[in-house]
Amino acid sequence: MHLSFASQIINLLAAILLLLSFAMLTQRRILSLINLFALQGFTLTLSTLVVAWSTGQHHLYYSAALTFALKVLVLPWVLHRLIRKLNVKWDVETLINIPTTMLVGIVLVILAFNVALPISQLAGTITKSTLGIALACVLLAFLTMITRSKAVPQVIGFLAMENGLFFAATSATYGMPMVVEFGIALDVMVGMVILGVFFFQIRERFDSLDIRHLEKLKEE
Amino acid sequence: MPLPASAMHLILGVVLLWLALGLAGVLFPHNLNLVSRLLFPAGAIGALVLAAAALDALSGEAQSLVLPLGLPGLPFHLRLDALSAFFLLLLGAVTAGISLFAAGYFRRGEGTPPGLQCLYYHVFIASMTLVLLADDAYAFMVFWETMALSSYFLVTSDHTKAEIRRAGFLYLLIAHVGAISILLCFGLLHGTGDYTFENMREVQLAPFWATIAFAMALFGFGAKAGMLPLHVWLPEAHPAAPSPVSALMSAVMLKTAIYGLLRVLFDLLHIQVWWWGVVILVLGLATALYGVVFSAVQSDMKRLLAYSSIENIGFILVGVGLTVIFQSYGMRSLAALALTATLYHCINHAYFKSLLFLATGSVLHATHERALGKLGGLIHRMPWVAWLALVGTLAIAGLPPLNGFVSEWLLLQAFLFTPNLPHPYLNMLIPVAAAAVALAAALAGYVMVKFYGVVFLGQPREERLAEAHDAGLRERAGLIWLAAGCVALGVAPVAVIGVIDNVTGALLGKTLGASATGWMFLTPISPARASYAPLLFLLVILAVWLATWLAVRSFYHGRVRRAPPWDCGFPAQNARMQDSAEGFGQPIRQVFEPFFRMQRELPTPFDATPRYRVTVEDHLWYWLYLPLAKVTEAVTRVVTLLQRGRISVYLMYSFVTLLILLLFVR
C-alpha cells in the first residue's frame, strides 16, 4: 500500500509536469514562461525526492538537490536578470497560432504514450507508467522551441527539454549515474552562459532578439 | 654486440630528420639563410642516406615493423620489401638532387615564407616515404592523404593568384576522388579480415570482385598518376607550383601512384586477368599519345613539361599493361622484361623530368618568364643550366646513350614478343600498339626539340633576357646530380637491371637476368634477337665527334671564321623572325586537329594592330568535366533548398527526424 501511495503521488506530479509543459507551450509572456519553467523544475525536484524516498535510492537525493539548485534557483534567476537587461519582458508572438499548437501538442502526447508503451512494460521501476509523460514533455518542449521566434523562449524550451529528459531518466531507470548527471548539469550551465553571450551579440547586431533576422545570414 | 641498424630503422630515422627539419623551418619561417644553407642541404643528405638504405634493402629479406602510432588497437604496419625499396631508392636518389636545388631556389617574398615551404616540402617527402612503406590500408591512406594535402599547400604556395588557387583546388578535388576509390578498393580487398596487407594477400576474391577491386585501384591510382581522362589537374598544378615542387610531384609523387598500382596488381590481388592488361595498355597508349600531342602545342614551358609527364606516365602504364598480359598467360620471362622496362622508365622519368623542371625553375628565376614566346637564346646567358638541361632533353627524347633510350627500347622489345601471345586477337592487335608507342616516342623527341630550341637556342626574344644570370652554386649542384644520374642510368643499364631484378623476382617470381652476356651488353631475351651496348655507343659517338673535330681542325688549319649568317637576302633580321613555339607546334596542331578544341582569331589585312590568337583547349573539359560539374551543381541546388536560414525550420528537421526514429524503433 505504501508503494502504491508513492506511485500515486509520482503519477500526480507527472501529470502536473505535463500540464506545465502545455502551459509553457501556450504561454506568450516571457516572464510567465520563466516562472513556469521554475515551477516545472520544482515539480521535478519533488518527484525525484518521492522516488528517492520510496525506493531508497540515495543518489537521487543528490540529483534532487542539484535539480533544485540549478533549475529552480540559478537558471530562473539568470533568465530573469537576462530579460531585465535585455528589456524583453513583453509578449512573444508564436509562429503558429496557439490553438493549432495545442492540437499538435495533443497529437504528440498520444504519440509519445504509444511509443513509450513497450518500453515502460519492460522497465521494472515504480515510475514506469510516467515514461510516456516524460517523453511527451520532451516533445512538447521541442515544439515550444520550434514555435517561438524569439531567442529567450527558445532557450527556455531547450531547458524544459532537458527537464523532460531528466524525468525520463528517473522514471525509466531511477536516474542516470551521478557523473552523467553532473555532466549534463554542467552542460546546461555552460550552454546558458554561451547563449547569454549570444543574446547580447544578436541584439547588438540586429537591435532585436528576433531569430528571424538570422535568415539574412543565409548564403544566396 | 650492438645490433646493426636495419635499413628500415635508417629510413625511419631519415623521416624523423625530415620532420625535424620541417619543424625547424616553422620556428624561423622568415630566416632564409637557415632554410637554404642548413635545412634543405641537410634534407638532401638525408635523402642520400635513404637511397643507400633502400639499395641495401633491395636485395635483402623483407623487413616488417609495427609502429605504436595510429589509433588504439590499430597500429601502423610498415614493411620494406623489394618493391618498396626500389621506389624508395628512386625517391631518395632524386630527392637528393631536388633538395639541393631547392636550397638555392626558394627566395624571400614569393608567396609562402621559406620556413613554411620547408615544412610542407619535408612533410611531403616524408609522407611519400611512408606511403611506400605502409603495410596496412589504414596507414597507407593516412600517409596518402598527408601527401596530397602537403603537396596541395606546396602547389598553392603563391596563393595570392586566383588561377593558382583554382589549380590547387582542382588538384585537391581529383586527388580526393581518387583517394575514395583507393579506399573502396582496399575495402574490397580486405575480405572479412583486418586491413593489413598481410591479410589482403591471403584473401581469395572471386574474379568478379577482383575485377571491381582492380577497376577501383586503376581509377584511384590513375587519378594520382594523371591517367586519361583524370589528367586535367596535372597541367594546371605543375605550372602553378614552385619548380622544385613540380619536379618532386612529377618525378616522385606520380611514381607513388604507379607503386600503388603495382602493389595492388601483383602483390595484393592473387590473380591477374588478361583483359585487365588490355585495359591498362589501351589507357596507357591513349594517355601517352594525348600527353605528347598536347605538349607539342603548349606555349608555357612548365605546362609543356607537365603534358610530357602525362605522356611518360602513359608509357609506364603501357609497360604495366604488358606485364599483366604476359603474366596472366604465364609467360613469366616476358612479364619480367615488361616490368623491368616499366620500372626502368619510372626511375628514368624521375631523373630527366626533375632535371628539366628544375632547369625551367632556374630560367624562371633568371627571366621571370614562363611563356616560351618571350624566351630564347639563354644558352649564352645561362650556360650551366643550358648544357645540363641539354642532357635532360636528350634523355627524355630517348636518344642513346642516355637513359631514356634504354627503357623505351626495352619496352619496344617487350612489344616485339606480343605475337607469341596465345590469343588470336591480342597477338595481332598489340603489335599495332607498338607503332603507337613508337609514334609517341618520336613525337616526344619533337617536343623536346621545341622546348630546348625555343628556350635556349636562337636569339633572345625580349630585351631583358640579356640580364638573365646563371643558376647559383646549390642549384647547379642539384642539376649536376640529376644530369649525372641520367648519364649513369643510360650507360650502365646492366647494373640497373641487376637492381630491378630484385623487384621482378619478388613480384613475378622470374628475373630478366640481363647480365648473362656480361656487363657490356644489355641483352633482354637472347643475343640472337637484340642487344644494346651503351658504352660502345658512347665510345663510337665520342670517336666520331673527335674524328670530325680533328678533321675540321686540320682541314681549316684551326682557323675560326666568323661571318654573318645567311640571311636569305633580307638583312634586317631580328629575334621576332625566329620560329616561335606556336609556329613549331603548328604542324602537330594541324595533323592532330581532332585532339584539340581550338579557337583562332586571325587578323584581317586592314587591322592597324594585327593580333593572332589561338587557344588550344582540352575536349575532355567540355565532354566530361563541365557536364559533371553541371550535374553536381544541379544536385547541390536541390540540397540547398534545405537551407532556409530559419532556426525554427532547422529545429523542425531535428524534430521530424526524432519522431520518425521513435516510430521506427517501435
Q: Cβ of A215 and B658 within 8 Å?
A: no
- Contacts from B438-442 at CB under 8 Å and sequence distance 24+? B438/B412, B439/B289, B440/B285, B440/B288, B440/B289, B440/B291, B440/B292, B440/B311, B440/B314, B440/B315, B441/B315, B441/B398, B441/B408
Query: Considering only CB atoms, which chain A residues are within 8 Å of B651?
Result: 142, 145-146
B658 touches chain A (CB under 8 A): yes
The neighbour count for residue B417, using CB atoms within 10 Å, is 21
Q: How many interface pairs between A and B have CB atoms less than 8 angstroms apart?
A: 44
Query: Considering only CB atoms, which chain B residues are within 8 Å of A148?
Result: 648
Q: Cβ of B655 and A114 within 8 Å?
A: no
Query: Considering only CB atoms, which chain A residues are within 8 Å of B653?
Result: none
pLDDT tens digits along B611-638: 888 888 888 888 888 999 999 999 998 9
Domain that holds residue B631: 623-666
Q: What is the mean pLDDT of residues B649-655?
A: 86
- In the stretch 606-635 of chain B, residues with CB closer than 8 A to chain A read none
Residue A68 to chain B, least CA–CA distance (Å)? 28
Q: Cβ of A216 and B645 within 8 Å?
A: yes
Name which of B645, B654, B666 is nearest A218 (Cβ-Cβ). B645
Distance CA B614, CA B598 (A): 7
Q: What is the mean pLDDT of residues B25-52?
A: 87
Q: What is the mean pLDDT of residues B437-463?
A: 89
Whether B636 is covered by a domain: the verdict is yes
pLDDT tens digits along B175-209: 999 999 999 999 988 878 788 888 888 888 888 99
Whether B210 is covered by a domain: the verdict is no
Whether B300 is covered by a domain: the verdict is no
Q: Is the pLDDT of residue B1 over 50?
A: no
Q: Is the pLDDT of residue B488 over 70?
A: yes
When divided into structural domains, chain B yields a total of: 1
Query: Considering only CB atoms, which chain B residues are within 8 Å of A217?
Result: 645
Residue B74 to chain A, least CA–CA distance (Å)? 29
- Which of B639, B646, B649 should one mutate to test binding to chain A, selecting the residue with the greatest count of A CBs within 10 A? B646
Residue B133 backbone zone (phi > 0: left; psi -120 to 50: alpha; other: beta): alpha
Name which of B644, B648, B662 is nearest A146 (Cβ-Cβ). B648
pLDDT at B575: 76
Q: Is the pLDDT of residue B90 over 90?
A: yes
Q: What is the mean pLDDT of residues B398-405?
A: 87
Following CA atoms B370, B372, B378, B379 in sequence, which dihedral angle do they give, to the nearest 10 degrees? 120
pLDDT at B110: 63
Q: What is the mean pLDDT of residues B318-323?
A: 92
- Which residue is closest to A95 within chain B, CA to CA? B648
Whether B661 is covered by a domain: the verdict is yes
Q: What is the mean pLDDT of residues B553-580?
A: 75
pLDDT at B604: 83
Name which of B643, B645, B652 is nearest A146 (Cβ-Cβ). B652
Q: Average model confidence (pLDDT) for chain B? A: 87
Which amino acid would we find at residue B339? L
Asked whether the bond before B29 is cis by omega within 30 degrees of 0, the reply is no
Q: Is the pLDDT of residue B414 over 50?
A: yes
3-state SS string for B369-408 = CCEHHHCCCHHHHCHHHHHHHHHHHHHHCCCCCCHHHHHH
Residue A139 to chain B, least CA–CA distance (Å)? 8
pLDDT at A42: 93
Whether B436 is covered by a domain: the verdict is no
ipTM metric: 0.80
Query: In the beta sheet, which residues pair with residue B65?
Result: B78
Name which of B647, B651, B652 is nearest A214 (Cβ-Cβ). B647
pLDDT tens digits along B301-312: 999 999 999 999
Q: How confident is the model at residue B109 (pLDDT cuts 50, 70, 90)?
A: low
3-state SS string for chain A = CHHHHHHHHHHHHHHHHHHHHHHHHHCCEHHHHHHHHHHHHHHHHHHHHHHHHHHCCCHHHHHHHHHHHHHHHHHHHHHHHHHHHHCCCCECCECCCHHHHHHHHHHHHHHHHHHHHHHHHHCCCCCHHHHHHHHHHHHHHHHHHHHECEHHHHHHHHHHHHHHHHHHHHHHHCCCCHHHHHHHHHHHHHHHHHHHHHHHHHHHHHCCCEHHHHHHHCCC
Quote the radius of gyration of chain B (alpha carbons, Å).
Answer: 26
Q: The cell 589507357 sits on which residue?
A: B283
pLDDT at B494: 85
pLDDT at A1: 42
Q: Cβ of A214 and B651 within 8 Å?
A: no
Task: Provide the b/e sequence for A74-105 (b: ≥16 CB within 10 Å).
Answer: bbbeebbebbeebebeeebebeeeeeebeebb
- Which residue is closest to A217 within chain B, CA to CA? B645
Q: Cβ of A118 and B666 within 8 Å?
A: yes
The one-character DSSP state at B576 is: G
pLDDT at A124: 65
Whether B604 is covered by a domain: the verdict is no
Query: Considering only CB atoms, which chain B residues are within 8 Å of A139?
Result: 655, 658-659
Q: The cell 591471403 sits on which residue?
A: B202
Whether B320 is covered by a domain: the verdict is no
Q: What is the mean pLDDT of residues B488-507?
A: 87
Query: Considering only CB atoms, which chain B residues are within 8 Å of A115?
Result: 662-663, 665-666
pLDDT tens digits along B124-181: 999 999 999 999 899 999 999 999 999 999 998 888 888 889 999 999 999 999 999 9
Residue A7 to chain B, least CA–CA distance (Å)? 26
pLDDT tens for chain A, 220 residues: list them: 455 787 888 888 888 999 999 999 888 888 888 899 999 999 999 988 888 888 887 888 888 888 888 888 988 888 888 888 877 766 666 777 888 888 889 998 888 888 887 777 776 666 667 888 888 999 999 898 888 877 788 888 888 888 888 888 887 777 677 777 777 777 887 887 777 777 777 777 777 767 666 666 666 5
| 3-class state of residue B609 by DSSP | coil
More confident residue, B60 or B356: B356
pLDDT at B3: 44
Whether B642 is covered by a domain: the verdict is yes
Closest residue by Cα to residue A48 from A154, A166, A192: A166
Q: Is the pLDDT of residue B216 over 70?
A: yes
